Amino acid sequence: MTTEFSLQGRRALITGANKGIGQAIAVGLARAGAHVVAAARTNCDETLARVRAAGGLAEFLQMDLSDPAQGAEILSRAGPLDILVNNAGIIRRADSVDYSEADWDAVMDVNLKAVFMLCQAFARQIFARQANNPDNGTTGRIVNIASLLSYQGGIRVPAYTASKHGVAGLTRILANEWTGRGINVNAVAPGYIATSNTEALRSDEGRNAEILSRIPAGRWGEPEDIAGAVTFLCSPAANYVSGAILNVDGGWLAR
């Protein structure tokens, strides 16, 4: 691996790393040389096994982001970090006229408030390390997982749409404040990815055909497609990239 894309010696926390996109990101970062901290509410045994099979280093950190205030405490247990990937998220579906306050709060807590709290705790950790050892060149990378619904409205997912618009805005403001202090902040916006969350759509012959007809690439994305983009944003190759939202959607938004 060329030095520009190496994460050797870097320590990365990935939330929601037990399956799907989060699992693929964990494996991808580990293959690039990072020591991975796989965080999730449930065990990450499969993720750890895949990382180790790829020759990487990984550990599990249990966390429940339904209580966003846990962010600082969670990061203190993760040890010194160089990379934070905010991947964990939930979705609740209902017509907007019927959408409950409880569902709104649950989605916003996990998808937006917890993202901010984790980013804040991560930045404080990086800045403290810089202050304690100003000559060591400590830097950090944050990658937030946004969505096509950071740009579009969607249907029957008002809280999810609002939260992902918020993730896009949060990414930009934190980049404005922190890039000059050594933390690059970016986001990746996945398109339609083949995970358990989209199994029902892929199983619906009509809906599947509608979706594929709009994707210029002509296929559903794979979790590994997102992992590659995240790995790039965490690497030295992206040293001058901050405040960007990288769409990984097979061309969906260009159509």
Q: Which candidate in 151, 160, 192, 240 is catalytic? A: 160
Distance CA 63, CA 41 (A): 5
> Per residue in 231-244, is it b (16+ CB within 10 Å) or e — as a string?
bbbbbeebeebbbb
Q: Both tokens of residue 170? A: 């949060």
Q: How many CA atoms lie within 13 A of 201 on its CB side?
A: 13
CA distance 62 to 47: 13
**Is 160 annotated as catalytic?**
yes
Task: Measure the CA–CA gap between 169 and 153, rounded to whole angstroms.
Answer: 15
Beta pairing partners, 39: 15, 61
- Catalytically active residues, by annotation: 160
